Amino acid sequence: MKNKLTYFIVLFSLISCDKIDSFLGKDDTPENSNVVKSYYDNGKLKSYYTINELRQKHGVAKSFNQKGVLTKSFEYVNGEKVKAMTHYENGNPLLEINYKNEIKDGLLKRYYETGQVESEIEYKENFPGIGLKEYTKSGQLKTNYPNLIVKGLDRIDVNGKYIIEVYFDKNPGRGTYYLGELAEGKYLSYRLEKLERSNYRGQFILKPPPGAVIMEKLSFVGEFKTPTGNKYIVQKNFNLAIDNSY
């Protein structure tokens, strides 16, 4: 009789502790499980993630709001985040980002609330690249992007300056302009030199000394922020020819 009483006391204690931990939102997953969970105060699942034998995040991780709707989801490989996705209130994907070494690297996708793809763009080491694709809600590819203009203005006889203007032919104020070449011929990088702007146009100013003859090919990059917040990247070369020898 005494042994039975002891058994029921221990069993009751274990059940009570389990309910308390769940109520407090604590992880009630056994130590030997590969799934770690957390809960809201009302007992609903808040998040979970899977782990490997080293207890590093490995596999799927998901977060939910108090209504039980999926808000965020992730993929991990041995503790390193390789993909993240945010979701609309209906559970459909909103934004999908690939990662390498915890920074954006790979395809980035945005979605309409219906689940259709809104845009796609490649990233490398946290920088966007050329080749942005944006789609209408009917699935048509958008093509109405501005052209990058690079124009030389010879003002040497007036003020000793040769000015190269860089700008988009539509909404130039939405552009950021750089001197230099895209990394791998495709991606923005920290090596690019950002140009000062005047009247929404990027300017590269040279002051050639008397007698100077300069023949050089320069590369310029335009970064256009689209109405949906994406970045349209384009590079254009310019053949610089200055003869100040006379």
Per-residue pLDDT reduced to its tens digit, 159-184: 889 999 999 999 999 999 999 999 99
Both 159 and 228 in one domain: the answer is: yes
Model pLDDT for residues 185-242, shown as the tens digit of each residue:
999 999 999 999 999 999 999 998 888 899 999 999 999 999 999 999 999 999 999 9
Within-domain flag for 15: no
String of DSSP letters for 70-121: EEEEEEEETTEEEEEEEE-TTS-EEEEEEEETTEEEEEEEEE-TTS-EEEEE
Q: What domain range is 124 assigned to? A: 22-134
Domain end, chosen from 68, 101, 134, is at 134
Both 35 and 123 in one domain: the answer is: yes
Both 28 and 112 in one domain: the answer is: yes
User: Nearest 5 degrees, angle CA 87-CA 93-CA 97?
Assistant: 95
Within-domain flag for 11: no
Residue 159, domain CATH:
2.60.40
In the chain, the number of structural domains is 2
Both 94 and 196 in one domain: the answer is: no
Residue 35, domain CATH:
3.90.930.1
